[in-house]
Amino acid sequence: MSSSSSNQMWGGRFADAPDAIMEAINASIGFDKRLAAQDIAGSRAHAAMLAAQGIVTDSDASAIREGLLTVLSEIEGGTFQFSTALEDIHMNVEARLKEVIGDPAGRLHTGRSRNDQVATDFRLWVRDQLDAADAGLTALMRALVAQAEAGADWVMPGFTHLQTAQPVTWGHHMLAYVEMFGRDRDRVRDARKRMNESPLGAAALAGTGFPIDRHMTAEALGFDRPMANSLDAVSARDFALEFLSVASISAMHLSRLAEELVIWSSAQFRFVTLSDKFSTGSSIMPQKKNPDAAELIRAKIGRIFGANVALMMVMKGLPLAYSKDMQEDKEQVFDAADNWLLALAAMEGMAGDMKANVPALESAAAHGFSTATDLADWLVRETGLPFRDAHHVTGTLVARAEAKGCDLPDLTLEEMKAVHEAIDETVFDVLGVHNSVASRTSFGGTAPARVREQVASWKEALA
């Protein structure tokens, strides 16, 4: 459509066509066309309410609602011609609706503004993304629970500072991420509940004199209630910021797991093998199998963090109510949502397909003096040493093993007695990695029995 068509949409306030530069900076249709389905859903609900309240005739409302479905089918079918001269998705839809049904289209905007219209569309879109993230997190958690169930007994090294600390079970490690992603899902659900209020009917900023029924449109669109303050309704974007915050925390968890998969799949660790579906080769080194999906997840997380900061900066200095700055909210949220949902799906695929190298895990668990804490605990229990003294004795034994080039279980009983005479042969019962993990039976511990309990609990919760 021409610029003159845009002027007709605006009415008589502006006589001249906008400069091309102004049109380019002002237009948002290049990205907000993603709101088409939400925009049309909101307009159909608004039209039905206008008829129910006697503000427009039933025949006009029916024509509007049917015409909007025609427009939606054109958009979804790829035949709709978007116009930058019409600025945004709302004006594009309304202009096409007028071409389809004629004069009744002009009655659709009664009792509302583009300010409450876009706020409604955006809330609906973000709500859809939260639902998709909920599903993605649930699927990922199920994949990790399946890994935990398979490897409840598999022993691997637990790390602090990426240094060998104590043996843990594979299942315990997998369940740590289930807990993290479970909290992410709780945040998603909490955010959805808080943002599920309708701005529609707040109009430009002050409400409207038409006898509209905001509760009717809120219910029709699946909102819990209309927003209680018209100024807040059109100017609030904390729902989008909360979405980005939730996405950022979840993305951080995804990145931590991605980093571990990169490390674990290396030739130096050989803890896991990722499937060919989530790996690539090298153009020059035929032996390479690169964990590219994990690396790309790790990198894309920065875009989500960046979107969160960017929208904070957009909103931080805005007076009430609406300012054009707020047009910059959508691209950030769209990009973050795309990357978050993609990362969730990719991680679910990798978690489901990866194969643990159980012998390599157990071998690594038995190195690095991983049972030193078990030895110190044994000294406390069996000899009555204060823990700090037991810690010192164990450190001396570690130094002797290190000098000898062996691990703690490889020291002879005589070598141990030379450090502390109360040590006897039962000490070897705690020095094996399987004995170590089996002894960690405290609630939340790594013992296979505890892992199986948690697996059962999560399977029920995720059913």
Interior/surface letters 119-143, b for 16+ CB within 10 angstroms, e for the rest: bbbbbbbbbebbebbeebbbbbbbb
Q: How many CB atoms lie within 10 A of CB 222?
A: 12
Dihedral sign from CA coordinates of 329, 335, 339, 342 = positive
Site of tokens 């005739």: 57
Residue pair 350/294 in contact (Cβ under 8 Å)? The answer is yes
Rounded CA gap, 99 and 408, in Å?
Answer: 83
Residue 444 to residues 37, 168, 175, 313, 455: CA-CA distances in angstroms?
A: 46, 12, 10, 41, 12
Q: Strand, helix or coil at 35?
A: helix
Nearest of 264, 430, 294, 262 to residue 360 by alpha carbon: 264
Catalytic annotation present for 253: no
Catalytic annotation present for 161: yes
What tokens were used for 124?
């609906």
Catalytic residue (one of 4, 282, 323, 457): 282
Rounded CA gap, 385 and 375, in Å?
Answer: 12
Residue 97 to residues 68, 100, 121, 160: CA-CA distances in angstroms?
A: 6, 5, 18, 62
Length in residues, the chain: 463
Rounded CA gap, 179 and 35, in Å?
Answer: 33
Residue pair 50/56 in contact (Cβ under 8 Å)? The answer is yes
CB neighbours of 286 closer than 8 A, spacing ≥ 6? none
Cα dihedral 390/395/399/404 (nearest 10): 50
Rounded CA gap, 185 and 191, in Å?
Answer: 10
Look at phi and psi of residue 405 and say left if phi exceeds 0, alpha if psi is from -120 to 50, else beta. Answer: left
Nearest of 207, 210, 255 to residue 229 by alpha carbon: 207
Rounded CA gap, 451 and 440, in Å?
Answer: 11
Which residues are identified as catalytic? 161, 282
